[in-house]
């Protein structure tokens, strides 16, 4: 018997669980990996929208970083909604804001997203630091404070 494996974004859904209170490291990439967010207008619109509470009514966004061609976030599901539903809402709102900022329609995000459920023994602050340090590792800026498109709840409230 030949078993064909799932391909593309469908493979990412295999085994995906959405659990209330679970922390997830999420990654969404731009359509065709275009460096859409290298344009400050698009980056500003996306960052503002993704940081809004209305974009995450079923989850708490703990930290995030917007790179030229992708986004990473650390979220905690707070309701019984699915992770896919939460991401669909955030990506949809963001796409509308970006298209408004660039003055035209079109695809902003690739279909699907990557998720990694954190284990109980994972160091959440270590994961958060890893996420927000992406611009440093990519050589976009010499200091994290020089990069405008990231945030973390620990900057305004204790962990």
pLDDT at 1: 36
Residue 47 has pLDDT above 80, yes or no: yes
- Locate the domains of the chain by residue range: 9-155
Q: What is the pTM of this model?
A: 0.85
Radius of gyration, CA atoms only, the chain: 16
Asked whether the beta carbons of 109 and 29 are under 8 A apart, the reply is yes
> How much is the average pLDDT of 140-150?
96
Residue 154 has pLDDT above 60, yes or no: yes
Phi, psi angle pair for 6, to nearest 5°: -70, 145
Phi, psi angle pair for 124, to nearest 5°: -60, -40
pLDDT at 41: 98
> Percent of the chain beyond pLDDT 90?
77
Domain 9-155 bears CATH identifier 3.30.70.1290: yes
Residue 159 has pLDDT above 80, yes or no: no
Say how far residue 96 (Cα) sits from the centre of its chain: 16
Phi, psi angle pair for 72, to nearest 5°: -120, 140
> How much is the average pLDDT of 69-91?
93
> How much is the average pLDDT of 24-48?
98
């Amino acid at each position: 018997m030949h078993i064909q494996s799932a391909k593309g974004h469908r493979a990412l859904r295999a085994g995906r669980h959405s659990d209330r209170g679970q922390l997830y490291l999420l990654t969404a990439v731009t359509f065709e990996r275009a460096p859409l967010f290298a344009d400050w207008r698009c980056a500003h619109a996306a960052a503002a929208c993704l940081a809004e509470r209305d974009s995450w009514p079923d989850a708490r966004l703990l930290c995030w970083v917007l790179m030229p061609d992708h986004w990473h976030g650390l979220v905690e599901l707070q309701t019984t909604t699915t992770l896919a539903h939460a991401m669909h809402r955030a990506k949809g709102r963001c796409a509308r804001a970006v298209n408004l900022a660039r003055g035209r329609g079109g695809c902003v995000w690739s279909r699907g997203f990557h998720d990694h459920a954190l284990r109980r023994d994972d160091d959440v602050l270590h994961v958060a630091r890893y996420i927000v340090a992406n611009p440093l590792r990519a050589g976009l800026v010499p200091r994290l404070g020089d990069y405008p498109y990231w945030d973390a709840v620990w900057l305004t409230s204790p962990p």
